[in-house]
């Protein structure tokens, strides 16, 4: 039987349901014990549920933490001296933000998982990278917003990193054109947050077209769909519009949150979001029982990575729908699903929706 340690050596979308369930049950049990012994608030929650950590439990049975708890409490399972980086969720002015405490072990695991997942889509080599944002977003490398953390995390996939926007969030042709000329004929990686790409890249190119050809590029983007949905911009419209102004055809959306950095859910060629060997999802009904395929519910996110804070089983404020498992037409194994947006009256939180406040 495979163990958690073996996951780093296999394809990130290669485990079938039964084998994955065994690994997740074992790893979630180990993580829950780590956090039970290291984080007093988590211990109180587990005790309150009268949950028996010593029993064999399936992934569906482990207690989840509402993601909003990270706004109310300082949840960490290591001494403060061991924390090397603190990440915060994005929020509008006046909102509390989540604080996520990373030690070397968790930070390293998150970087390795992200690299492993994205290498499946991009290949093993680091690509010339154009980030559709401004460079000053990376202010304090110890204390990151979700937006800054996302940019820094994905930057490990690239080389010759160049920013496409200036400090006024305008297209910086003086940076873009030399970058594209230097890497003419090469594969290029673009990264950015969805609404920023739409508002400051696509709309700017549409209004003021200058020759930018990105036919050899792959775009990875996520977050910020709330603004686009309000403008009736679907995922298909997003892709078609960008292809129309710059020729880019390989566009992959991803879904994730700062509370579970690294174990992201990436869109396959079928257009669905996929779980990797490091992550899983469960859709929950209002009574918190698991949903069936095709049924909308609250999205529970599971990650095998975090040891420095109890972020391994979280209940989000998003609505999702499980579409299937191990049978997607794109060939990727694991669960695949789609997100329908945030639950009504949930706080607006998104690393690109709230960029004005950063």
Strands (E), 60-183: 65-66, 85-88, 99-102, 127-131, 143-145, 158-163
DSSP for residue 207: H
Angle (nearest 5°) at CA 172 between 244 and 224: 60
- pLDDT at site 148: 79
Cα 110 to chain centroid distance, Å, stands at 11
Enter the pTM of the model: 0.89
pLDDT score of 171:
94
Reduced to 3 states, what is the DSSP secondary structure of residue 280? strand
User: Tens digit of pLDDT per residue, the chain (358 long)?
Assistant: 789 999 999 999 999 999 999 999 999 999 999 999 999 999 999 999 999 998 899 999 999 999 999 999 999 999 999 999 998 876 544 568 889 999 999 999 999 999 999 999 999 999 999 999 998 887 755 445 677 778 888 999 999 999 999 999 999 999 999 999 999 999 999 999 998 999 999 999 988 767 788 998 999 999 877 777 777 788 899 999 999 999 999 999 999 988 999 999 999 999 999 999 999 999 999 999 999 999 999 999 999 999 999 999 999 999 999 999 999 999 999 999 999 988 876 554 443 333 343 3
Max Cα distance, the chain (Å): 63
Contact criterion met (CB below 8 Å) for 131 and 193: no
| CATH assignment of the domain containing 328 | 3.40.50.12780
Q: What is the pLDDT of residue 62?
A: 96
Are residues 120 and 252 in contact, defined by beta-carbon separation less than 8 angstroms?
Answer: no
Domain ranges, residue 297: 1-358
SS3 label, residue 318 = strand
Query: Which pLDDT belongs to residue 91?
Result: 55
Q: Which of 237, 274, 269 is CA-nearest to residue 254?
A: 274
Say what the pLDDT of residue 348 is: 41
Cβ atoms of 175 and 164 within 8 Å: the answer is yes
**pLDDT at site 346:** 56
Count of domains observed in the chain: 1
**Secondary structure letter of residue 202 according to DSSP:** I
Query: What is the number of alpha carbons within 13 Å of residue 126 lying toward its C-beta?
Result: 10
């Amino acid at each position: 039987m495979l163990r958690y340690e073996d996951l780093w050596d296999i394809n990130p979308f290669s485990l079938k349901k039964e084998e994955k369930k065994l690994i997740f049950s074992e790893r979630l049990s180990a993580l829950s014990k780590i956090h039970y012994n290291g984080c007093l608030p988590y211990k109180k929650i587990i005790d309150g549920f009268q949950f028996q950590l010593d029993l064999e439990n399936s992934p569906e049975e482990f207690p989840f933490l509402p993601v909003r708890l990270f706004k109310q409490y300082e949840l960490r399972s290591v001494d403060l001296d061991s924390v090397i980086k603190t990440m915060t969720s994005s929020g509008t002015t006046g909102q509390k933000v989540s604080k996520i405490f990373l030690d070397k072990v968790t930070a390293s695991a998150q970087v390795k998982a992200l690299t492993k997942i994205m290498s499946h889509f991009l290949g093993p080599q680091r690509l010339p990278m154009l980030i559709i944002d401004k460079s000053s977003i990376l202010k304090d490398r110890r204390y990151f917003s979700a937006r800054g953390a996302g940019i820094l995390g994905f930057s490990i996939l690239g080389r010759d990193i160049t920013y496409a926007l200036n400090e006024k969030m305008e297209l910086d042709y003086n940076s873009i054109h030399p970058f594209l000329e230097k890497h003419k004929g090469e594969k290029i990686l673009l990264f950015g947050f969805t609404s920023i790409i739409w508002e400051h890249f696509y709309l700017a190119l549409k209004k003021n077209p200058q020759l930018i050809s990105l036919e050899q590029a792959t775009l990875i983007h996520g977050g910020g769909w709330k603004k686009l949905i309000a403008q009736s911009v679907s995922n298909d419209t997003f892709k078609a519009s960008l292809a129309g102004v710059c020729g880019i055809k390989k566009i992959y959306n991803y879904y994730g949150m700062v509370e579970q950095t690294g174990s992201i859910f990436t869109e396959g060629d079928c257009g669905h979001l996929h779980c990797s060997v490091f992550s899983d999802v469960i859709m929950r009904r209002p009574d918190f029982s698991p949903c069936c395929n095709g049924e909308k519910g609250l999205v529970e996110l599971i990650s095998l990575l975090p040891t420095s804070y109890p972020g391994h089983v979280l209940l989000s404020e998003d609505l999702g729908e499980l579409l299937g498992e191990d049978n997607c037409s794109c060939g990727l194994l694991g669960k695949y699903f789609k997100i329908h947006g945030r639950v009504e009256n949930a706080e607006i939180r998104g690393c690109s929706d709230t960029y004005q406040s950063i």
